[in-house]
Amino acid sequence: MPDHINIDTLKRLVALVDQKLDEHRAEEGAMNGMKDYAAWRERRAAANAKLLDYFTANENARFLEKPPHDHSVTMAGIRSSSTMGFDAALKNWTARARKRIMAHE
């Protein structure tokens, strides 16, 4: 593991990402059938924008989208991706960060 990755920072970020993903899911809400699809997509887009803005501004995260489906996040020296969106890429980021933390302890 690179020396520049601080384990305390990773622990803080994992907890923060978990918290922000919980908020994201609450803001996004459930899709109640196809009649709600357009409204759900709008809620999801707004929740995604808020999530990306927060981590970009406050944690120096970098997000990249490669159409049609690749979404990646790099933060604190860890990169992760998903084909299911930036929220899923952040969820995968927490899994990689937890593995780094466990390997260090």
34 touches 20 (CB < 8 A): no
Residue 55 inside a domain? The answer is yes
46 touches 11 (CB < 8 A): no
Tell me: pLDDT of 45 over 60. Answer: yes
**Could you give the CA distance from residue 38 to residue 44 in angstroms, rounded to a whole number?**
10
Residue 2 inside a domain? The answer is no
pLDDT for the residue numbered 4 = 60
Structural domain tally of the chain?
1
What is the pTM for the complete model shown? Answer: 0.89
What's the pLDDT band for 1 if we cut at 50, 70, 90?
Answer: very low
Residue 1 inside a domain? The answer is no
Task: Print the domain residue range for 62.
Answer: 7-104
Residue 40 inside a domain? The answer is yes
Residue 82 inside a domain? The answer is yes
